[in-house]
Copies of this chain bind each other. A is one copy, B any other.
Amino acid sequence: MKVLWLFAHPERRSLGGALRDEGLRALDDLGHDHRQSDLYAMGWNPVVSGADFGHDPAERLVVGEASRRAWESGRLSADVRAEQDKLAWADTLVVQFPLWWYGMPAILKGWFDRVFVKGFAYGVTDPARPGRSLRYGEGRLAGKRAMVVVTAGARESSLGPRGINGDIGELLFPLQHGTLWYTGMSVVAPLVVPGADRAGDADFAEYAARLRNRLRTLETEAPVAFRHQNRGDYDDDLVLRPHLAPGRRGLGVHRAE
């Protein structure tokens, strides 16, 4: 594999930092290539602005169109292009972060906001069928795999299917389905590390071993069965057809059982 490891933690001497180190060592041991974007270490700027696109501040900024023009003409800012080049190189993306307010730290959210510009990651249509959007299982990033590694302070039960904090798979839906799958990537099950604030050496050893095991099978394990946009599951209003997950609603219906 060629793995891009995206890491967003302000402290490398943390459980998350130790797991990142362990993961990169495991990839070395398995003979895989890897590159890293350690966003805090890089001083990554997460804020989308017209400056990303060489936009004239006197003109009204429409982010999607400005980003597409900048991407097509090679005028995107250099830090964004460098990240796109890393992702283009990779066949596998690992996204590792501590769960803050049930989502990604801002520095990581802004990696997707700035790097996944129109034309590069979305707004792509099928050249053979111009009206057909290539997304949710198709798109420019199709063929790549992605895995989320998330550390959380909450205990495991509270992130379960009926846990008070919300099912972790559904909390991750905007990232796993709305971003990674949207752009065509195959998403495997996340590695969730609960109780991270109280983890001791034995907990670290357990999760380090789980991470090694996951990396060993990452290339071949079956991805999450999110539904494809263009295989007949959705109607012309992009609503799931009634015979699928009949009578159900909510984020879970977009995953085939």
Contacts and interface: CB of A to CB of B under 8 A. Distances in A.
Interface of A: 10-11, 13-14, 40, 46-50, 60-64, 98, 100-107, 109-110, 112-113, 116, 136, 153, 155, 157-158, 160-167, 170-171, 173-175, 177-179, 182, 197, 227, 229, 234, 237-240, 245, 248-254
B101 A14 contact: no
Given A171-B174, A252-B249, A164 B11 contact: no
B173 A171 contact: yes
A211 to B, nearest CB: 21
B237 A155 contact: yes
Contacts of A177: 102, 166
A16 B109 CA distance: 20
Contact of A106 (B10, B47, B239): B47
A153 B238 CA distance: 14
A49 B10 contact: yes
27 contacts: A10-B61, A40-B47, A46-B107, A47-B106, A62-B197, A101-B113, A101-B174, A101-B178, A103-B103, A103-B109, A103-B178, A104-B109, A105-B110, A105-B113, A106-B110, A155-B238, A158-B238, A158-B239, A162-B239, A162-B240, A163-B239, A165-B238, A166-B174, A167-B249, A170-B250, A170-B251, A171-B173
Contacts of A48: 10, 100, 105-106
A11 B66 CA distance: 12
B10 A162 contact: no
Nearest to A166: B251
A62 B11 contact: yes
Contact of A100 (B49, B113, B227, B250): B113
Contact of A102 (B107, B179, B238): B179
3 A-B pairs with the lowest CB-CB distances in the bound complex, closest first: A106-B110, A102-B178, A102-B174
Given A40-B49, A105-B109, A106-B106, 19 more contacts: A10-B61, A11-B62, A13-B61, A46-B106, A62-B197, A63-B98, A64-B153, A64-B197, A102-B177, A105-B113, A106-B107, A106-B109, A157-B237, A164-B238, A165-B238, A166-B178, A166-B251, A167-B249, A171-B178
